[in-house]
Amino acid sequence: MSNLFIALTHYPVINKNGDVIASAVTNLDLHDMSRVARTYGIPSFYVVTPLEDQKALVERIVLHWVEGTGARYNPKRREALERIKIKSDLEEVKNHIQSKGGEPPEVVVTSACPEDWNLSFDEFRGMLKNDRPYLLVFGTAWGLPESYMDEADYQLEPLLGVDDYNHLSVRSASAIILDRLLGSDR
Amino acid sequence: MSNLFIALTHYPVINKNGDVIASAVTNLDLHDMSRVARTYGIPSFYVVTPLEDQKALVERIVLHWVEGTGARYNPKRREALERIKIKSDLEEVKNHIQSKGGEPPEVVVTSACPEDWNLSFDEFRGMLKNDRPYLLVFGTAWGLPESYMDEADYQLEPLLGVDDYNHLSVRSASAIILDRLLGSDR
């Protein structure tokens, strides 16, 4: 198992106008990101939302695939979705990781913004050879608010394509980032 | 612009039992894969289905984001979805690429199967430095049938994680593969 954990945040995130909002959970985020987590040996994929109805929705989806008819229909989905843990906020996530391994994780936030990052993919790959836990946080909607990112230990280098277009879905971005950090093609 | 084109195939593909079927188009495949195409400079993303109602559905989605209210709401989506071209089969895709550049593409198929591949990521990165066009084909559902893959010029190395789990979504797999082929972090 990797010492890298991932979280998908639904609050606080910003909308198109820069306001802080709580976004709705997207079913395919759960499937795609948990399958990536399973592929690369990530122990837990935290789905973060303080909204009770959204937590209940995630729990219903996960239970269907982990214990319900979905688990019998497609056991490979069970292996993926059983990595999902539902938490209210970042503190709960950090406490959960600490309760497993004794140490709190260092928090690395992601952003599509080409400025203000202080951790390259290469540096992060090197750090992951340490024993300590790391938590990589992804935002939904238009991303994590600046105040949230300022409190993190590190901000990861953004993905860049051929020019300044930086509008990947969080599903695509997280898949690419985890392959860059943990993939075998290096 | 890259000399690499991509296609997402909905027929022929296989289902869980190995039968050849036509799969339904998934809205988020169009969004996620066209945004990856835009990010990495891929000129066209071909959505392949022979079913008229499915073609009409794709056309309606694309028009909403390229010319409709979606284009005004989010111009970044327009830049992505305008790369989508709807075709009935592989022949139509190859003819369209040839009509643009004069040369037919070499066809590279993808598969999660750990056997039978004959093109590594490294080799393909080298080939993409040639001038000629290449078409990378992704399958939906449980993937492309063996007979279809046998007719391709190459079969690309599969993505491997930490063990033999090979069940990424086509959205995640295509994002990772295109970053490995065209990403700057090399």
Tell me which residue in B166, B169, B180 faces A32 most closely, judged by beta carbons. Answer: B169
Distance CA B145, CA B142 (A): 9
Q: CB A183 to CB B176 under 8 A?
A: yes
Q: Is residue A12 domain-resident?
A: yes
Measure the CA angle with vertex B24, ends B116 and B90; round to 5°.
50
Residue B28: what pLDDT?
97
Other Cβ atoms closer than 10 A to B146: 12
Is residue A117 very low, low, confident or very high in pLDDT (cuts 50, 70, 90)? very high
Distances (CA, A) of B108 to A42, B14, B122, B152, B154: 30, 18, 14, 6, 5
The proportion of chain A whose per-residue pLDDT surpasses 90, expressed as a percent, equals 89
Is residue A184 very low, low, confident or very high in pLDDT (cuts 50, 70, 90)? confident
Of B84, B83, B72, B90, give the one whose Cα is nearest residue B1.
Answer: B83
- Contacts with B173 from chain A: Cβ below 8 Å: 175
Interface of B with A (CB under 8 A): 2, 16, 28, 31-32, 35-36, 38-41, 74, 76-77, 79-80, 121, 159-163, 165-169, 171-173, 175-176, 179-180, 182-185
Q: Is residue A163 domain-resident?
A: yes
What is the token pair recorded at A117? 């990052």
Q: Is residue B23 domain-resident?
A: yes
Q: Is the pLDDT confidence value at B5 over 90?
A: yes
pTM for this one? 0.97
Q: Is the pLDDT confidence value at B185 over 90?
A: no
Is residue B84 very low, low, confident or very high in pLDDT (cuts 50, 70, 90)? very high
Is residue B186 very low, low, confident or very high in pLDDT (cuts 50, 70, 90)? low
Q: Is the pLDDT confidence value at A148 over 80?
A: yes
Q: Is residue B129 domain-resident?
A: yes
ipTM of the complex: 0.96
**Disruptive mutation site among B17, B169, B174 for chain A (greatest number of A CBs within 10 Å):** B169
> For the segment B109-135, what is each residue's pLDDT rounded down to a tens digit?
999 999 899 999 999 999 999 989 999
Q: Is the pLDDT confidence value at B148 over 70?
A: yes
Q: CB neighbours of B73 closer than 8 A, spacing ≥ 6?
A: none
Q: Is residue B63 domain-resident?
A: no
Is residue B182 very low, low, confident or very high in pLDDT (cuts 50, 70, 90)? very high
Tell me which residue in A40, A162, A172 faces B175 most closely, judged by beta carbons. Answer: A172
Averaged pLDDT score across all residues of chain A: 96
Instruction: Give the residue-averaged pLDDT of B58-68.
Output: 94
CA distance B95 to chain A (A): 26
Q: Pick A90 or B184 by higher pLDDT.
A: A90
Q: Is residue B77 domain-resident?
A: no
Which domain CATH number covers B102?
A: 3.40.1280.10
Residue A186: what pLDDT?
60
| Contacts A–B by Cβ distance under 8 A | 116
Q: Which domain holds residue A123?
A: 4-50+87-182
Q: Is residue A80 domain-resident?
A: no
Is residue A101 very low, low, confident or very high in pLDDT (cuts 50, 70, 90)? confident
* Three-state DSSP state, B109: strand
Interface of A with B (CB under 8 A): 2, 16, 28, 31-32, 35-36, 38-41, 74, 76-77, 79-80, 121, 159-163, 165-169, 171-173, 175-176, 179-180, 182-185
- How many structural domains is chain A composed of? 1
Q: Is residue A29 domain-resident?
A: yes
Residue B184: what pLDDT?
82
Q: CB B39 to CB A161 under 8 A?
A: yes
Instruction: Give the residue-averaged pLDDT of A116-126.
Output: 96
Q: Is the pLDDT confidence value at A40 over 70?
A: yes
